[in-house]
């Protein structure tokens, strides 16, 4: 059978055709006179949208007649709608044939953006002819109409990726455009909605190519409606068109004091933007000399020509765009190193923040430790020994929650597994909740029974930091240092009883604003700020004007809004960690090992060799047996014995074994 009907479409060996009955049903319709006639027309056009280019833009006059039309008497068929209706009939009478994609075929997308709609067409190229597969059109709503043209094009790409997800998942997609969409999405300093769109597009195999053919320009701008005509085979140069002008109004001094300026810009769409500038370096009493005679004759200046010279950006740009490198290996490697520290944006080439001179190169990228919800992930460490106090206590068990940054501390005389178990039960489980994960170092108290079996019984996951890598549990390590410094600050030369200050130091920590989330641990835990001891002895407005009846109601409202506050805190902390990650990763020279690789260990971390004046810096080799992720590895010595602890990549170095 050469041709047949399937799901309301005509299918043959060449492609997909629209059913003639559907076309005749629309062409035979008279001009709508009532509200139901327009609704019936929109339903019939919905089945033809796949074949119809710019369907949303052409149907916009129909939709406008339905706005604010709550009664039948409110409907009015305008002259604009009648003209659009006739143009729609003309377009439907000449609908193109759509082709079907083949397996692992590269597909091409052209994008266009109008004032109130975005359009895309999915195509394939066969025998030097571009054949359409699917037309997608989407009407803009609400604030989307005020998007910039670049944002509208990206929105069109996101919309077509959702609408035609099966094509995007099965094929390589090539976007033909003359706009810097790729540079806009790769820019780290973009708006939140662009960042969201970038994450949605990263799951697909999308490439961007510049427009080089007239047929691409015609398709991208959707000038013609019949896409089945044979396009020219020879490429032609694109004619550069000047963009629509912007209008700028300037006020020499926008304030009474002067030394400021006000700007008002109006874009081609009519959107106005205002700016105010302050020139702090200018003085109000500074005299300005007016030049009465012109320094240059205007008639002599015929034109200003920009000469495109060879700059430091030229070889990097050629490497980014065309992957052109010098033949000399040293020069080629130098350009690759420079390219890693640069990025191309719509404003040109920009250098990324570089490494300060003398800064240490890092071997692993930044891996932030986060907790999904409060009191789920804790870090525990042991501080001490301190000077022995009453009851022979000299150690301090410190725990901190990774979400709220709430700290718990307890004095103990010995640091056995039983004391660790009692501390977790009394200070974490009974006070907050059963934790899901605990991070600590490789101390024997944490690795052996009875604490190990107790954690397994309660389904508490134990995470051990690598040897000589305190960054894996850096939050509690830093708080150990802060606890010691704060205790020392509260003691004078005569006072030696540091045990009396233990209760004050954690309280100060819980009521201090943390830079990571800009909140206090107390407010994130209970939904309000604590009343500090100073407010009890010296009444403030907060304590003096309290109404005990309304206070209980306010406390209940704060608890109801606590989850929202915690979510905002998590978002703020994620933003701050993203900034730190961008700064940290600039200095990273990524290093990783494969299973079976041989490595050396840092002798300062392993202490495998005798410590002496001329001791070796590295010892080994060892074989990598398992990669645990985030730079952690399990090793095996030359006798086949697996080392009991994990080792981080910062304490390892590649060993090149020469096979005889």
Q: Of 562, 526, 531, 534, which is closest to residue 546 (Cα–Cα)?
A: 531
| Domain presence at residue 648 | yes
- Are 328 and 381 contained in the same domain? no
Do residue 40 and residue 184 come from a single domain?
Answer: no
Give the chain's domain count. Answer: 5
pLDDT the model gives residue 239: 45
Verify that 452 and 414 share a domain, yes or no.
yes
Checking if the pLDDT of 286 tops 50, the result is: no
pLDDT tens, position by position, 380-418: 888 777 777 777 888 888 888 888 888 888 888 888 888
- 494 and 613, same structural domain? no
Rounded to whole angstroms, what are the CA distances from 51 to 100, 224, 452? Answer: 13, 14, 66
Question: Could you tell me if 410 and 516 lie in one domain?
Answer: yes
Rounded distance, CA 54 to CA 43, Å? 17
Q: Tell me the percentage of the chain whose pLDDT exceeds 70.
A: 70
Same domain as 382, residue 524: yes
Tell me how long the chain is.
660
Q: Are residues 343 and 411 in the same domain?
A: no
Q: What is the CATH number of the domain that holds 393?
A: 3.30.420.10
CA distance 629 to 369: 13
Span 101-135, pLDDT tens digits: 888 888 888 888 888 888 888 888 887 778 888 88
Q: How confident is the model at residue 187 (pLDDT cuts 50, 70, 90)?
A: confident
Using the 3D structure, point to which of 185, 205, 221 is the last residue of a domain.
221
Assess if residue 401 is contained within a domain.
yes
Residues 479, 330 share a domain: no
Residue 132 lies in a domain: yes
Which DSSP symbol is given to 304? -
Inside any domain, residue 51: yes
Closest to 213 measured CA to CA, from 237, 239, 229, 230: 237
pTM: 0.39
CA separation for the pair 379, 478 (Å, rounded): 11
Residue 232: is its pLDDT beyond 80? no
Residue 591 has pLDDT above 50, yes or no: yes
Would you state the pLDDT for residue 299? 44
pLDDT band per the 50, 70, 90 thresholds, residue 223 = very low
Instruction: Tell whether omega for the bond before 385 is within 30 degrees of 0, i.e. cis.
Output: yes
Q: Is the per-residue pLDDT at 10 higher than 50? A: yes
13, pLDDT greater than 70? no
**Is residue 650 a part of any domain in this protein?**
yes
Rounded to whole angstroms, the Cα distance separating 288 from 292 reads 12
Q: Which residues contact 293 (CB under 8 A, 6 or more apart)?
A: none
Beta bridge partners of 131: 124
Q: What is the pLDDT of residue 364?
A: 59
Check whether residue 36 and residue 182 sit in a common domain. Answer: no
* Separation of alpha carbons 34 and 72, rounded Å: 7
The reply to whether 146 falls in a domain is yes
Query: Do residues 168 and 74 share a domain?
Result: no
Looking at 512, 527, 543, which one is the last position of a domain? 543
Q: How far is CA 118 from CA 146, 211, 575, in A?
A: 13, 19, 31
Does 358 have pLDDT greater than 60?
A: no
Q: Give the integer Cα–Cα distance in Å for 388 and 497.
A: 10
Q: Look at residue 58 and tell me whether its pLDDT is greater than 60.
A: yes
Residue 296 lies in a domain: no
The residue range of the domain holding 612 is 598-655
Contact 440, 446 (CB under 8 A): yes
Number of DSSP helices (H) and strands (E) in the chain, helices first: 22, 23
Per-residue confidence at 224, pLDDT binned at 50, 70, 90?
very low
Average pLDDT score over residue span 362-372: 66
- Among 206, 221, 236, residue at a domain's last position: 221
> Which residue spans within 371-527 are E strands per DSSP?
377-383, 395-401, 407-412, 437-440, 461-464
Whether 61 and 124 share a structural domain: no
The owner of tokens 């410590």 is 611
Q: Tokens at residue 516, please? A: 């990571």
Give the CATH number for residue 123.
3.10.20.370
> Two tokens at 128?
């030097």
Distances (CA, A) of 512 to 459, 486, 536, 569: 33, 13, 18, 15
Report the distance separating Cα 521 and Cα 402, nearest Å: 11
Looking at the structure, tell me whether residues 75 and 157 fall in a common domain. no
pLDDT for residue 446:
75
274: in domain: no
d(CA 13, CA 91): 24
């Amino acid at each position: 059978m050469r041709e047949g009907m399937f799901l309301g479409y005509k299918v043959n060996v060449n492609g997909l055709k629209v059913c003639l009955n559907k076309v005749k049903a629309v062409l035979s319709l008279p001009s709508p006179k009532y509200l139901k006639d327009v609704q019936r027309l929109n339903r019939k056009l919905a089945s033809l949208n796949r074949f119809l280019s710019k369907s949303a833009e052409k149907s916009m006059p129909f939709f406008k007649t339905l706005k604010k039309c709550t009664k039948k008497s409110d409907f009015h068929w305008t002259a604009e709608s009648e003209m659009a209706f006739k143009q729609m009939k003309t377009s439907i009478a000449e609908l193109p044939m759509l082709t079907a994609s083949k397996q692992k075929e590269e597909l091409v997308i052209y994008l266009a953006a109008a004032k109130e709609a975005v359009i895309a067409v999915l195509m394939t190229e066969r025998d030097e002819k571009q054949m359409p597969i699917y037309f997608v059109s989407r009407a803009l709503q609400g604030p989307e109409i005020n998007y910039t043209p670049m944002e509208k094009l990206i929105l069109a790409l996101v919309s077509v990726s959702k609408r035609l997800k099966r094509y995007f998942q099965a094929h390589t997609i090539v976007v033909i455009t003359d706009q810097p969409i790729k540079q806009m999405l790769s820019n780290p300093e973009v708006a939140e909605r662009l960042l969201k769109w970038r994450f949605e597009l990263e799951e697909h195999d999308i490439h961007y190519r510049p427009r080089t053919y007239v047929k691409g320009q015609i398709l991208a701008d959707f000038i013609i409606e019949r896409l089945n005509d044979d396009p020219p085979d020879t490429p032609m140069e694109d004619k550069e068109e000047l963009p629509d002008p912007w209008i700028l109004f300037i006020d020499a001094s926008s304030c009474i004091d002067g030394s400021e300026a006000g700007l008002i810009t109006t874009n081609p769409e009519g959107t106005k933007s205002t700016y105010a500038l302050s020139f702090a370096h200018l003085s109000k009493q500074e005299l300005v000399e007016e030049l009465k005679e012109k320094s240059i004759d205007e008639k002599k200046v015929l034109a200003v020509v920009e000469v495109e010279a060879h700059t430091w950006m030229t070889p990097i740009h050629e490497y980014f765009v065309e992957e052109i490198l010098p033949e000399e290996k040293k020069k080629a490697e130098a350009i690759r190193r420079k390219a890693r520290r640069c990025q191309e944006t719509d404003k040109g080439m920009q250098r990324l923040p570089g490494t300060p001179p003398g800064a240490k190169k890092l071997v692993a990228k930044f891996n932030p430790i986060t907790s999904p919800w409060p009191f789920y992930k804790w870090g525990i460490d042991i501080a001490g020994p301190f000077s022995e106090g009453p009851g022979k206590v000299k150690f301090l068990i410190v725990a901190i929650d990774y979400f709220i940054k709430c700290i718990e501390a307890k004095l103990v005389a010995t640091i056995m597994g039983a004391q660790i178990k009692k501390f977790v039960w009394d200070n974490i489980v009974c006070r907050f909740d059963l934790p899901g994960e605990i991070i600590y170092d490789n101390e024997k108290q944490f690795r052996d029974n009875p604490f190990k079996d107790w954690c397994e019984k309660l389904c508490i996951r134990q995470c051990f930091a690598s040897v000589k890598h305190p960054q894996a549990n850096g939050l509690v390590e830093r708080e150990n240092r802060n606890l010691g410094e704060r205790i020392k600050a509260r003691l004078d030369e005569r006072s030696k009883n540091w045990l009396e200050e233990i209760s004050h130091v954690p309280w100060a920590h819980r009521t201090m604003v943390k830079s990571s989330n800009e909140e206090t641990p107390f407010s994130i835990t209970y939904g309000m700020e604590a009343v500090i001891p100073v407010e009890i002895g010296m009444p403030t407005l907060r304590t003096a004007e309290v109404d005990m009846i309304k206070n209980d109601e306010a406390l209940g409202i704060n608890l109801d809004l606590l989850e929202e506050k915690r979510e905002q805190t998590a978002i703020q902390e994620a933003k701050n960690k993203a900034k730190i990650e961008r700064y940290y990763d600039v200095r990273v020279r990524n290093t990783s090992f494969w299973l079976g690789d041989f490595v050396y260990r840092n002798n300062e971390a392993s202490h495998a060799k005798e410590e002496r004046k001329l001791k070796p810096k590295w010892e080994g080799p060892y074989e990598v047996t398992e990669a645990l992720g985030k730079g952690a590895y399990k090793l095996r010595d030359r006798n086949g014995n697996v080392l009991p602890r994990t080792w981080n990549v910062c304490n390892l170095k590649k060993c090149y074994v020469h096979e005889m």
